[in-house]
Amino acid sequence: MNSERTLYPCYFDRALTRNQGRRVSKEMAQEAPQIKTIHKAAKKAGLSARIDEEATHPAHGSKTKGRVIVDWKGSKEELMKKIVLKF
């Protein structure tokens, strides 16, 4: 099993609906999250993470916002909850 998980800012964006790409609850989501904020939260959580500034979310291709790649063997949902608690 691949231990890398990709996280895009849209997963944590309060302004988006679930259908538009938000993957955490609205209460836990952030206003206009940045990849550096997600990266910092991953580091605070004790995770190995790196930034890929050139990548775009497949559904948001016209917006180059980057992504954070985290070394994680569990589910992506568990990872997002762990990171959102460190914002």
Angle, nearest 10°, between helix axes 35-44 and 76-84? 90
Query: Tokens in use for 86?
Result: 């460190």
Q: pTM score, two decimals?
A: 0.91
Domains of the chain: 4-84 (3.30.56.30)
66 confidence band (pLDDT: 50, 70, 90): very high
Residues 6+ apart with CB under 8 A from 16: 10, 22, 29
Helix (H) or strand (E) holding 78: helix 76-84
Question: Tell me, what's the pLDDT at 61?
Answer: 72
Question: Tell me, what's the pLDDT at 57?
Answer: 86
Q: Looking up tokens 């993957």, which residue turns up?
A: 23
Residue-wise pLDDT tens digits, 11-41 = 999 999 999 999 999 999 999 999 999 999 9
